[in-house]
Amino acid sequence: MLGRLIVRPELKIFLFIFFLYFISNSHEGISKEQGSSLIAIHRNIQLIALSTPPDKDFDIPVMPPKQALKVIRKSIDLIYANSPYTANRLVELSKSGPLIVIYNPEFPEWSRGDITLAAFLPYHFDLEGNTSVQEAYVAVLGRYIIKHSAAEIAAEGIAHELVGHGFQHRDGTLELLSGLDAECEASLYEMKVFQDLGVDMLSSHIVRFRLELEKHNCDDFKRFMGKRERSLMYLWDQKYIDVDRILRIFKDYEASLTK
């Protein structure tokens, strides 16, 4: 989900210190403590696992930072081992700025409505006043999703947030697209990982996800396909959809929104 987040001042400071730290101390696979939190690099993705405030009560038991880093590493490894398409997209995105995954047990704030599992956070590090701005691509994983399967974290937390919304941010389409269109494109990246990891396409979770994808998030896009690419509508009828091809058609749809 595209995160409409208000970043607390202390998190901004942490991110800035973290970024400067990695400029001068970039060592793959080494975890180090920054206060009571943990930081590491794994496959050129920078990881932060925040600790919990000692006196704060949560609605569920919270995973400690060390365990959270292990879970995130495993999820990233699943992508590199089984989804070369997504792994290549991560590599390509990293050429535009640091990729950062944050485990924040305080995310999301408790609410009575739908629970947000993860979010994308567009971020700019201003290192030299206003003369040099460094892009960064930040995915925030909350206390709920971190307890999901590694496949779900890989698909929902890494592919959807970091790859899907990350490329939208890089290409300047994040503000152009409606909320549903942005979710449609990011959800297609999510589906690609679920398929590549061999997740059962008939499981209740995937059936619900695909219904939301086709009937809600991608409804406008599918209407566009029905008018402009009617002969390709069969792509949506397959058990395993051709995500790469559909994403290329989505770019035509995206271009049509600016005309």
Q: What is the pLDDT of residue 81?
A: 98
Q: What is the pLDDT of residue 122?
A: 77
**What are the CB-based long-range contacts (under 8 Å, 24+) for 14-17?**
14/48, 14/50, 15/48, 15/100, 15/123, 15/125, 15/136, 15/138, 16/125
Q: Which of 230, 227, 231, 225 is nearest to 248 (CA)?
A: 225
**φ/ψ of residue 78, rounded to 5:** -60, -40
pLDDT less than 50: residues of the chain: 2-10, 12-13, 16-17, 20-26, 30, 127-132
Q: What is the pLDDT of residue 29?
A: 55
pTM value? 0.85
Structural domain boundaries of the chain? 1-175, 177-259
d(CA 240, CA 176): 29
